[in-house]
Chain A
Amino acid sequence: MLPALVRKTWRDDRLALIGWAGGVAAFTAIYTSFYSQFQGAAELKQDALPQGMLDFLGIADMLSPAGYLQATIFSLVGPLLVLMCAITLAARTIARPEEDGGMELMLANPVSRTAFAWQRVGAAGSALTGIAAIPGILLMIIVPWIGMDIPLSNVAAASAGLVALVWSFAGVAFLVGAATGKRASVLAITGGLAVATYMANAIGGMLDGWHWVRWLSPFHYFIGTDPLHTGWHPPELLTLVLLGAVTTIAGVIVFDRRDIGV
């Protein structure tokens, strides 16, 4: 049986989890289902936006199925949605209960500090993984169903990248919460980092001499390899997973060493 604290964490977060899962599922389903109606209008939209804007938004073309999925699900709104979910859920593991005081009674149970942190991040992380996997799972059904001409393996690669991206930022958010115990810090630092690295990836792709900044951006490892056209890129995905793992481990270590609720 799973630890009581893991079950408790899921139970306390259940409304948020259902809300985020529903939102992400609806977003994916609605956008993808519009594909066939959208085809006629796509040309117009493609022409309406200057090439620089398309590049900034990470949109190569909106006419091909891969381009359409990239533009709708994987470039801006999709990652934005799941990252918001990741950051708020990660803030709930330690920072929020520490601030509102509810953590004391959870910590007063017979678990070590590290076990507490692992169970909290494990519960939130598994829920988060489930939510981040929703677009991929739905696309596996919708893409063949509406007859989009794109290899499912490529869709799976991009979807796996989305999950890995979420892990990396969730790890950072958890680390900030574990270190500071402040929800505002988690939201501000991780949110700021997400915006900054998104810009770095976008601008790095556009400006000559600035290509290197993309290497600093998790978004580059997620979508910079163009998985919808080129398929799997394990080293890039592994980089994101590693970032998530390292920050999570660091968070557990820091949490074990500091005062709580000061």
Chain B
Amino acid sequence: MPGRKADDDVGMTSDIALLTEDLTKFYGQRRGIEGLSLEVRAGEVVGFLGPNGAGKTTTIRLLLDFLRPTRGHASVLGLDPRSDKAALHRQIGYLPGELVFPGRDKAEDLLRFFAAARGGVAWSQVTELAERLDLDLSRSVRTMSKGNKQKVGLVQAFMHRPAVLVLDEPTSGLDPLMQQEFLAMVRDASGAGQTIFMSSHVLAEVQQVADRVAIVRDGQLVAVERVESLGKRAVRAVEIHFDDPVDPAEFSVLPGVSDVVVSGPVLKCTVDGRIDPLIKAAARHEVVDMLSAEPDLEETFLSFYYHGEGAGDASRAGA
């Protein structure tokens, strides 16, 4: 950012909502997360992606001070999760991945407890959110379906308009319509300057709202990228129809091209990165038709943890 250099120190702390440096957590011998260094700027929406067991929840629980790091440290809004817990949690909205509510209250009573515990929240903010998510507050939370519980969880996370929202698998259990409503809530929150850090194992939903994604695999951060650039290097499925049968060997040696399947004159393959080599190679033949799907981020994402570090061209080609 130009003009920022002079006040770097001040700017850093006020501009960065969430910071981890070498954040590491071991459960005895078992690794939760190791050496995680990540910065999330204020007002940013960051998707935190990875397969189950990659360390997403561990990281989030470290940020919330449920866990204490084995090494390294985290800070949220420039505050220490442990020593400044009370002040910090006033400004954090948290949605746990495993949502369990204390007690047997009706949703309304439970939310009134959260409102009181956070030093008073205008009740209209609660009813607004409940209406938006089509949530009946008069029902007991114990008897609610998973989807409705998730809505209560979202309402309590958003209700006090916190500076930072830390959401662990926020869309789990929501139907597609409500998922869209949730994403709209995230956009609104981001528009209002709130920072959102949300974990997911589904890239598609994160892709719609996130500015950046951080990808973890086996307890380590493997990539942090802007969502647009993730698209540029995306894996796409390509299907080319030729006039005559072709030799698969001719295509499988091309950089970035893999999963080559030839049945007669039809070639199917996936391309990671630039499509140019494939086009040049195909042009040596008579091309009847060519189909290329929209780059599938899901596949790009999968390639990160199925095909080794960074999932670059080399590892793809060798796969």
Contact = CB atoms under 8 A, between A and B. Distances in A.
A and B held together in a complex: yes
Interface of A: 3-5, 7-8, 11-12, 97, 100-113, 115, 257-262
Interface in B76-95: 85-90, 92, 94
Find the residue from B66, B105, B109 having the highest chain A CB count within 10 A: B66
Interface residues of B, number: 32
Nearest to A261: B66
B114 interface: yes
Interface in B46-72: 61, 64-68
Contacts of B113: 4, 7-8
B102 A103 contact: yes
B117 A101 contact: no
B30 to A, nearest CB: 10
A84 to B, nearest CB: 22
A260 B103 CA distance: 19
Nearest to A106: B102
Contacts of A108: 64, 89, 92, 94, 96
Given A108-B92, A110-B89, A260-B66, A101 B118 contact: no
A109 B85 CA distance: 9
Given A105-B100, A110-B86, 13 more contacts: A4-B113, A4-B116, A7-B116, A8-B103, A12-B103, A105-B101, A105-B156, A109-B89, A109-B117, A110-B89, A258-B68, A259-B68, A260-B61
Contacts of A12: 102-105
B103 A102 contact: yes
Contacts of B105: 11-12
Contacts of A104: 64, 66, 94, 96, 98, 100
Nearest to A111: B86
A259 B67 contact: yes
Interface string B146-161: 0000000000100000
Contact of A113 (B85, B96, B101): B85
A157 B151 CA distance: 53
Interface of B: 27, 61, 64-68, 85-90, 92, 94, 96, 98-105, 109, 113-114, 116-119, 156
Contact of B67 (A97, A102, A262): A262
B98 A101 contact: yes
Contacts of B92: 108
B100 A100 contact: yes
A101 B67 CA distance: 14
Contacts of B64: 104, 107-108
Nearest to A102: B102
B68 A112 contact: no
A103 B103 CA distance: 10
A221 to B, nearest CB: 35
Contact of B118 (A110, A257, A260, A261): A110
Contacts of B96: 101, 104-105, 108
Nearest to A258: B68
16 contacts: A8-B103, A11-B105, A104-B64, A104-B94, A104-B96, A105-B96, A105-B101, A105-B114, A106-B102, A107-B66, A108-B89, A108-B94, A109-B114, A110-B88, A111-B117, A112-B86
Find the residue from B86, B92, B94 having the highest chain A CB count within 10 A: B86
A105 B47 CA distance: 22
A5 B117 CA distance: 7
A15 B27 CA distance: 37
B66 A102 contact: no
Contact of A110 (B68, B104, B117): B117
Contacts of A110: 85-90, 117-119
A101 B90 contact: no
A112 B92 CA distance: 14
Contacts of B100: 100-102, 104-105
A119 B224 CA distance: 41
A11 B116 CA distance: 14
A101 B117 CA distance: 18
A112 B85 contact: yes
A102 B100 CA distance: 5
A14 to B, nearest CB: 10
Contacts of B66: 104, 107, 259-261
A147 to B, nearest CB: 45
